[in-house]
Amino acid sequence: MQSNPQLNEHGELRHLLSIEGLPRDVLGSILDTAASFVGVTEREVKKVPILRGKSVFNLFFEPSTRTRTTFEIAAKRLSADVINLNVAASSQTKGESLLDTVANLSAMQADVFIVRHASSGAPYLIAQHVKPHEHVINAGDGRHAHPTQGLLDLYTIRHYKRDFSRLCVAIVGDVLHSRVARSLIHGLTTLATPEVRVIGPQTLIPTGVESLGVRVFHDMREGLRGADVVVMLRLQSERMRGALLPSAQEFFKHYGLTAEKLALARPDAIVMHPGPMNRGVEIDSAVADGPHSVILPQVTFGIAVRMAVMSMVAGT
Amino acid sequence: MSTLPDAETLCARLVAELRPSVGPNTAMIGLHTGGVWLAERLHAALGLIEPLGTMDIAFYRDDYHTQGLARDPKRTQIPFSVEGRDLLLVDDVLYTGRTVRAAMNELFDYGRPATISLVVLADRGGRELPICAQHCGAKVEVSAEMRLRLRRGGDGKLKLELERAE
C-alpha cells in the first residue's frame, strides 16, 4: 500500500491535498490550531512572524478571486511573501507544461504552492514532484476536493455546535458538481458525525454517494427535519444550460432554502453557504441575512483555517 | 542531586514579594501552560482588578524553521488593553530566556506597555539571551539533560518535577 502523500514520516501534515485520508488527530490538530489563529485575526495587529522569509505562490490555473484572496490574506498575516500567478492567462497558454511551470517557480525559491486547477488530481501530480522543503495546498481541483473550504466548514460547525457526536448535518443542492460537498462529507465522517444527509434532485446527486456514509433525500422538507446544520451549495449557473435542471425558478421552488422550510430543522440550526450565493436560486435573502445564517463568520474563520494549514505544512 | 523546593512555598513567597508593588495599573499575563497555573494563583491571591491574560507564544518561537509549529497551540487571550499598563509576565521556569523573548514580541503586537516585569517560580540558569527575572521564587540547579517543569495535581496543588529532556 502506498503511504499517505499528505503526511511526512512522523505523521505530520506536509501537503494538504484532500480531507479524504487525513487521520482524525491531524484533522483535530488543524482545527485546534485554527482556533488560536482566530485570536490573532481579532486583534489590532493581525500578523504573526512565523512564516517570515517564506514565499507562498498562489498558483491559479482556474480563476477564483475569492479563494485566492483569502489565501493571500492568510499568508500575509503569517508574514510570508505572496506571489499571485494567474497562470490561466500566462505561460500555460504559451504551451508550457504544468510541471515545467512548477519547476520554474521552484527555481525562484518557493516554499508553499497554493494550487487551483480545473483537473482533478493536478495538486497530487505537483506534490509528487516538488522538493522536500516545498509544500502543496489544494485550493480546489476539478470536482474532486476543496479541502480548506471543507475544513472551514468543519471549523464553523465545531464553533457553533461544539461536538460532532450528536449532530445531524444536511447538505443541500448540486452535490454532483461540488468539490466542497465531497470534502465536507469526508471530514464529517472522519469526525464520526452520526447523521450526514444530502438533499437534491436525482440528477444532481452522484450515484453511489451512499457509500460515503450519507443518507440521500430528494424531498427537501423531509431531509431538513431535525437538522442541526444546513449547508447550502451554490447552484452553478453554467450547469443550467444542460438537461440537468428545468430552470432556476423551478429549482428554488423545490430546493431553495426559505424560512418556511428552515422551520423544519432544529430551532437552533445554523445555515452555511460556501459562497458566492445566488439569492433567490438556492437561498432566500431572508434566510441568508437571517438569525440562523453563519455565512459571513465562515469567511472570517476561513482565513484562520488557511493560516493554520500553511503554518503547519511549512514547518515540516 | 539536591531536592527541589516546594512550589506552594515559593508561590506564597512570590505573593508576599509582589503585594507592595501591585497598583491599579497592574495587570498579569501567564504563559501556557505552567505559567498560567502559577498566574491563576498569584492573580487570585493579589486580587488584581483586571482579568488574567493568557498567552501561547507558538507563533513567535525562534525555532520554527527547525522544529515546525508546536502541536495544538492554545489561544492567546488578553482581555484588557496593554497600552500604558504595568505588566507582570508570569512563567513557571526561566531557562534560556527564549520563551520570554517571544512573549515580549507578541505583547508588543497588542500595544505598548509602560513596564513589563518577569515573575518566575524557579530560575534554573542557562540563559542564552540577556533576560532576567525581577521576581523569582528560587534559583534551582538542574543539569542540562534534565527538564524542570511545573505540575498541577488533581487537588490544584503545584509541584516542581524533574524529567529527562528529549
**pLDDT score, position A183:** 94
Using alpha carbons, select from B104, B153, B157 the residue that is nearest to residue B129. B104
A45 touches chain B (CB under 8 A): yes
Domain co-membership, A175 together with A276: yes
Question: With 60 as the cut, is the pLDDT of residue B72 above it?
Answer: yes
d(CA A9, CA A3): 9
d(CA B105, CA B110): 9
**pLDDT score, position A247:** 82
Considering the domain boundaries, does residue B121 fall inside one?
yes
User: What are the angstrom distances between the C-alpha of A122 and each of A87, A139, A148, A200?
Assistant: 14, 11, 16, 29
User: What are the angstrom distances between the C-alpha of A8 and each of A167, A313, B65?
Assistant: 32, 10, 16
**pLDDT score, position A316:** 87
Selecting from A12, A43, A50 the residue whose C-beta is nearest the C-beta of B109 gives: A43
Considering the domain boundaries, does residue B2 fall inside one?
no
Considering the domain boundaries, does residue A91 fall inside one?
yes
Domain co-membership, A234 together with A105: no
A298 and A122 Cβ atoms separated by less than 8 Å: no
d(CA A5, CA A8): 8
Question: With 70 as the cut, is the pLDDT of residue A243 above it?
Answer: no
Averaged over B99-119, what is the pLDDT? Answer: 97
Domain co-membership, A135 together with A235: no
d(CA A134, CA A136): 7
Q: Which secondary structure element, helix H or strand E, spans residue A35, and what is its range?
A: helix A24-41
Cell digits of residue A28: 483535530
B74 and B54 Cβ atoms separated by less than 8 Å: yes
ipTM exceeds 0.95: no
d(CA A28, CA A271): 22
**Confidence tier at A1 by pLDDT (50, 70, 90):** very low
Cell digits of residue A170: 444536511
Question: With 50 as the cut, is the pLDDT of residue A131 above it?
Answer: yes
**pLDDT score, position A249:** 86
Selecting from B56, B67, B105 the residue whose C-beta is nearest the C-beta of A36 gives: B56
**pLDDT score, position A277:** 92
Beta carbons of B67 and A44 less than 8 Å apart: no
d(CA B138, CA A287): 61
Beta carbons of A36 and B73 less than 8 Å apart: yes
Domain co-membership, A118 together with A188: no
Using alpha carbons, select from B42, B33, B44, B27 the residue that is nearest to residue B116. B27
DSSP labels, B52-111: PEEE-GGGG-S-HHHH-SPSSPPPPB--S--TT-EEEEEEEEESSSHHHHHHHHHHHTT-
Dihedral of the CA atoms A298, A300, A302, A305 (nearest 10)?
A: -120
B interface test, pick of A16, A27, A50, A316 with most B CB neighbours within 10 Å: A50
Considering the domain boundaries, does residue A260 fall inside one?
yes
Averaged over A290-294, what is the pLDDT? Answer: 98
Residue B109 with chain A: CB contacts under 8 Å = 43-45, 47-48
Domain that holds residue A50: 24-144+300-313
Beta carbons of B69 and A33 less than 8 Å apart: yes
Question: With 70 as the cut, is the pLDDT of residue A92 above it?
Answer: no
Considering the domain boundaries, does residue B107 fall inside one?
yes
Domain co-membership, A243 together with A192: yes
Residue type (1 letter), A44: E
A44 touches chain B (CB under 8 A): yes
Q: A96-110 b/e with 16+ CB inside 10 Å = b?
A: eebeebbeebbeeeb
Question: With 50 as the cut, is the pLDDT of residue A147 above it?
Answer: yes
Give the nearest chain B residue to A314 (CA atoms): B68
Question: With 70 as the cut, is the pLDDT of residue A242 above it?
Answer: no
Q: Which residues 19-38 of chain A have a CB within 8 Å of chain B?
A: 29, 32-33, 35-38
Lowest-confidence range among A244-253, B45-54, B105-114?
A244-253
**Confidence tier at B165 by pLDDT (50, 70, 90):** confident
Using alpha carbons, select from A135, A178, A186 the residue that is nearest to residue A309. A135
Question: With 70 as the cut, is the pLDDT of residue A2 above it?
Answer: no
Domain that holds residue B33: 7-164
Question: With 60 as the cut, is the pLDDT of residue B19 above it?
Answer: yes
Give the nearest chain A residue to B55 (CA atoms): A36
Lowest-confidence range among A152-166, A178-192, A236-250, B39-53?
A236-250
**pLDDT score, position A97:** 86
B115 touches chain A (CB under 8 A): no
Domain co-membership, A121 together with A38: yes
Residue A40 with chain B: CB contacts under 8 Å = 59, 76
Nearest-Å Rg of the Cα atoms of chain B is 15
Considering the domain boundaries, does residue B31 fall inside one?
yes
Cell digits of residue A265: 430543522
Averaged over B73-85, what is the pLDDT? Answer: 95
Residue type (1 letter), B96: T
Using alpha carbons, select from A155, A55, A41, A34 the residue that is nearest to residue A114. A55
Selecting from B60, B72, B75 the residue whose C-beta is nearest the C-beta of A48 gives: B60
Beta carbons of A44 and B109 less than 8 Å apart: yes
Question: With 70 as the cut, is the pLDDT of residue A156 above it?
Answer: yes
Selecting from A39, A47, A50 the residue whose C-beta is nearest the C-beta of B64 gives: A50
A48 touches chain B (CB under 8 A): yes
User: What are the angstrom distances between the C-alpha of B115 and each of A180, A219, A291, B87, B136?
Assistant: 49, 64, 44, 6, 17
pLDDT, one tens digit per residue, over B124-163 is: 999 999 999 999 999 999 999 999 999 999 999 999 999 9
Domain co-membership, A120 together with A155: no
pLDDT, one tens digit per residue, over A170-228 is: 999 999 989 999 999 999 999 999 999 999 999 999 999 999 999 999 999 999 999 99
Beta carbons of B110 and A43 less than 8 Å apart: yes
Considering the domain boundaries, does residue A49 fall inside one?
yes
Cα–chain-centroid distance for residue A269? Answer: 21
d(CA A164, CA A192): 7
Domain co-membership, A151 together with A288: yes
Dihedral of the CA atoms B54, B60, B63, B64 (nearest 10)?
A: 110
Q: Supply the CATH number for residue A70's domain.
A: 3.40.50.1370
Please provide the distance, in angstroms rounded to a whole number, between the alpha carbons at the two ends of chain B: 20
Cell digits of residue A230: 444546513
Domain co-membership, A173 together with A187: yes
How many distinct structural domains can be found in chain A? 2
d(CA B160, CA B119): 16
A147 and A17 Cβ atoms separated by less than 8 Å: yes
**Confidence tier at A133 by pLDDT (50, 70, 90):** very high
Domain co-membership, A89 together with A135: yes
Beta carbons of B71 and A50 less than 8 Å apart: no
Considering the domain boundaries, does residue A203 fall inside one?
yes
Considering the domain boundaries, does residue B97 fall inside one?
yes
How many distinct structural domains can be found in chain B? 1
**Confidence tier at A241 by pLDDT (50, 70, 90):** low
Domain co-membership, A99 together with A219: no
What is the value of pTM for the model shown? 0.92
d(CA A156, CA B132): 42
Phi/psi region, residue B111 (left: phi>0; alpha: psi -120 to 50; beta: rest), is left
Give the nearest chain A residue to B65 (CA atoms): A315
Considering the domain boundaries, does residue A4 fall inside one?
no
